[in-house]
Structure 1
Amino acid sequence: MWQLTSRKSWKELEQQFRFVRAMRDVPQDPRCHAEGDVAVHTRMVIKQLLRLPGYRQLSPLDREILWTAALLHDVEKRSTTVIEADGSITSRGHARRGEQTARELLYRYFPAPFHIREQIAKLVRYHDLPLCFFEKPDPLKSLIQASLEVDTHLLALLAEANVRGRISPDRDELLERIAFFRAYCEENKCWGQPYPFSSGLSRFTYFYKEDAFPTYEPFDTTVCEVVLLSGLPGAGKDTYLAQHLPGWPVVSLDDFRRQLRIDPADREGTGYVVQMAKEKAKSLLRQHTSFVWNATTLTRPIRQQLVELFAAYKARVRLVYLEVPYPQLRQQNRNRLHVVPNVAMDRMIARLEVPASWEAHEVVYEVR
Structure 2
Amino acid sequence: MKITTWLEHLAVDAMPTIDECVEQLGPHIDYLNRFKDTPQDHKWHAEGDVHIHTGMVLDELYLLLSNQASHIQGWQRQALILGVILHDIAKPIRTREVDIQGKIRIAAPQHEDIGRSYLAFKLHHLELSFEVVWTVLNLVGEHHMPKRLAIKNMSVSDYWRLARQVNTELVYWLEVADMRGRTCPDLAQQLLYLEEFKLFAEDYGVWGKPLDVRSKLAPELNQLSPHIQDYVYAHALYQLENGKITQPEEALGTTYQHREDHPHVVVMCAPSGSGKSTWINQNYPDYELVSLDVLREEFNGDRSIQKNIGQILQAAKELLRVSLRKKQGVVWDATNLRSDFRALIIDLARDYHALVTLVVMLQPEKTIYKNNLARQYSVPDSVLDKQFDDYQLPALNEAHQYWVVGEKGKTLFRNGYYRESGDGFC
TM-score norm. by structure 1 comes to 0.89
Aligned mates of 1:82, 1:326 — CA distance in 2: 28
2:51 maps to amino acid: A
CA distance in 2, matches of 1:361, 1:100: 20
Q: CA contact under 8 A between 1:70 and 1:158: conserved in structure 2?
A: yes
**Residue matched to 2:239:** 205
Task: Map 1:321-360 to 2 at 5 A.
Answer: 321-360=360-399
Amino acid across the alignment from 1:303: R
Partner of 2:111: 94
Q: Deviations over 1:63-108 (max 9, x none)?
A: 121111111111222222223452422222222222222324313x
Residue equivalent to 1:105:
122
Q: Secondary structure at the match of 1:205?
A: helix
Between 249-258 and 22-31, report the one with greater CA deviation.
Answer: 22-31
Among 330, 335, 343, the residue aligned to 1:296: 335
The aligned residue for residue 312 of structure 1 is 351
Of 159, 168, 191, 1:152 maps to 168
Match of 2:196 in 1: 180
TM-score, scaled to structure 2: 0.78
CA contact (8 A) 1:144 1:194 kept: yes
Q: Which of 60, 63, 77 lines up with 1:51 in the alignment?
A: 63
Q: Return closer, same or farther for 1:117/1:127 CA change in 2, 3 Å cut-off.
A: same
CA contact (8 A) 1:164 1:171 kept: yes
Shift of 1:141: 2.9
- Who is 1:258 aligned against? 297
Between 1:233-242 and 1:244-253, the stretch displaced more is: 233-242
Residues in 1 aligned to 2:165 and 2:19: alpha-carbon distance in whole angstroms: 33
Number of residue pairs matched? 366
Give the C-alpha shift of residue 268 in structure 1: 4.8
User: Which shows bigger deviation, 66-75 or 51-60?
Assistant: 51-60
Task: Check whether the contact 1:3–1:64 (CA below 8 A) recurs between aligned residues.
Answer: no
How far 1:12 moved relative to its partner? Answer: 3.1
The CA deviation at 1:281 is 1.0
**CA separation in 1, counterparts of 2:96 and 2:363?**
37
Cα deviations by residue, 1:315-341 (Å, 9 ceiling, x for unpaired): 222222333444443333222210122
**How far apart are residue 264 of structure 1 and its match?**
6.4
Alignment-derived partner of residue 230 in structure 2: none
**Using a 3 Å threshold, how does the CA distance of structure 1 residues 26 and 5 change in structure 2: closer, same or farther?**
farther
Question: How far 1:41 moved relative to its partner?
Answer: 1.0
Which of the numbers 84, 89, 92 marks the counterpart of 1:78?
A: 92
Residue 20 of structure 1 is aligned with which of 18, 32, 38?
32
Distance 2:385 2:273 in 1: 13
Are 1:11 and 2:45 counterparts? no
Task: Confirm or deny: 8 A CA contact 1:263 1:269 kept in the other structure.
Answer: no
**Mapped partners of 2:311, 2:387: distance in 1:** 21
Distance in 2 (CA, whole Å) between partners of 1:189 and 1:156 is: 15
**Cα deviation 1:103-151 (Å, max 9, x = unaligned):** 24313x5464433222112111111112221344844333222211111
For residue 332 of structure 2, what is the amino acid of its counterpart? W
Using a 3 Å threshold, how does the CA distance of structure 1 residues 98 and 242 change in structure 2: closer, same or farther?
Answer: closer
Letter in 2 for 1:60: G
The counterpart of 1:165, out of the listed 154, 158, 181, is 181
| More off after superposition, 121-130 vs 13-22 | 13-22
Q: Which amino acid aligns with 2:138?
A: K
Aligned-pair CA distance for 1:187: 1.1
- Whole-Å Cα distance in 2 between the matches of residues 100 and 163 of structure 1? 23
Residue matched to 2:280: 241
Give, as a single letter, the amino acid of the residue that structure 1 aligns with 2:325. R
Matches of 1:84 and 1:317, distance apart in 2:
39
Q: CA RMSD in A?
A: 2.6
Bigger shift: residues 150-159 or 20-29:
20-29
Partner amino acid, structure 1, of 2:112:
A
Q: Which amino acid counterpart does residue 160 of structure 1 have in structure 2?
A: V
Of stretches 183-192 and 328-337 in structure 1, the one that deviates more from structure 2 is 328-337
Question: What residue is the counterpart of 2:219 in the other structure?
Answer: none
Distance in 2, matches of 1:288 and 1:339, equals: 34
Counterparts of 2:19 and 2:364, CA distance in 1:
30
Q: Is the 8 A contact 1:2 1:112 kept in 2?
A: no
In the alignment, structure 1 segments of 5+ residues that lack a partner are none
With over 3 angstroms needed to count, the CA separation of the structure-2 counterparts of 1:184 and 1:289, relative to structure 1, is same
Where 1:56 maps in the other structure, the secondary structure is coil
Q: Return the letter of the residue paired with 2:166.
A: V
Query: In structure 1, what is the Cα distance between the partners aligned to 2:399 and 2:19?
Result: 45
User: Contact 1:27–1:36 (CA<8 Å) still a contact in 2?
Assistant: yes
Q: Deviations over 1:170-229 (max 9, x none)?
A: 212111111111111111111111222342111123356x64435331233332222222
Give, in whole Å, the separation in 2 of the partners of 1:187 and 1:66: 24
